[in-house]
Amino acid sequence: MRAPYLDDGDVRLYLGEAVDVLRDLPDASVDVVMTDPPYSSGGLFRSDRSADPAHKYRGFSFDKSGSTKPKNEYGSFGGDNRDQRSFLTWVAIWTAQALRVTRPGGHIFLFSDWRQLPLATDAVQLGGWSWRGICVWDKGIARPISGRFRQHIEFVVWATHGPIKAPAEKVYPSSVIQVPTVTPTEREHVTQKPVALVKHLLSVVDGDHLTVLDPFAGSGTTLVAAREAGHQAIGVEVERRYCDMAAKRLAQRSLLGQTDAA
């Protein structure tokens, strides 16, 4: 087993390729897979989908007059240039490995946009998971285009490792989640998700002190959210600079929590 890039007791972060690291993890060792992998989306044509993710996903911010202003540049990431058949095969491969390391009854939450949603729902089932449904994240903001619906939502494919039991405490979370997107001043990764969004998704999972796995950890949002919810977390990230970013965020949030407690 490789040494973790970071291990602070509650969170382990590995620097490496997702499938390689997943193969090293023991069977049935995690409770939840929560991840936002490269979508390989962003356009109608292959040339669009193969564009630099820093350009495809950088988005826009809006003032009250409705004018657009380009966001700050957040850098790019790899693995986002697969065609749809390759994307389907790739997701099926790593979700099959994720199923092996997840305990029976465990959950997977897989982020997707509208273009890749049909493939994502197929891929998790090819990986052996039982598809349970789709959650909708309402970001509340998107670039307005005349004559078209604003794309201010993303999707989360929810599936489980076989049958699941109802939580001991009755919870009724909505499948439509209205959480503002990360602001430009707080954003460190071009596709960064809000901590509150991940916590909402975790609320449907039964049990305390769970182990949450993110094979595409990016800037570490899942790791931060899991720890703040009282769980342990395992992250995998292929790019060293994002490992550094995640480690820095975890340290900052931990320090903030200690300050709040004092």
Summarised one tens digit per residue, pLDDT across range 135-181 is 999 998 877 888 988 889 999 999 999 999 877 778 889 999 999 98
Q: Residue 70 has what DSSP assignment?
A: E
Tens digits of residue pLDDT in 42-85: 555 555 555 555 554 555 444 344 434 444 455 655 555 678 88
Burial of 208-242, coded b for 16+ CB within 10 Å and e otherwise, reads eebbbbbbbbbbbbbbbbbbebebbbbbbbbbeeb
How high is the pLDDT of residue 39?
79
Domain ranges for the chain, please list them. 6-261
Over residues 103-117, mean pLDDT: 95
Q: Is the dihedral of CA 122, 127, 130, 136 positive or negative?
A: negative
The yes-or-no verdict on residue 110 having pLDDT over 60 is: yes
Please, what is the average pLDDT of the chain? 85
CA–CA gap between residue 5 and residue 16 (Å, rounded): 9
Q: Whole-prediction pTM value?
A: 0.84
First to last CA, the chain: 38
CA–CA gap between residue 64 and residue 212 (Å, rounded): 39
- Contact indicator for 111, 40 with CB cutoff of 8 Å: no
H or E segment to which residue 38 belongs? none
CA–CA gap between residue 23 and residue 253 (Å, rounded): 30
How high is the pLDDT of residue 179?
95
Provide φ and ψ at 19, rounded to 5°. -65, -40
Least confident of 49-58, 127-136, 199-208, 232-241: 49-58
Class of the 6-261 domain? alpha beta
The yes-or-no verdict on residue 128 having pLDDT over 80 is: yes
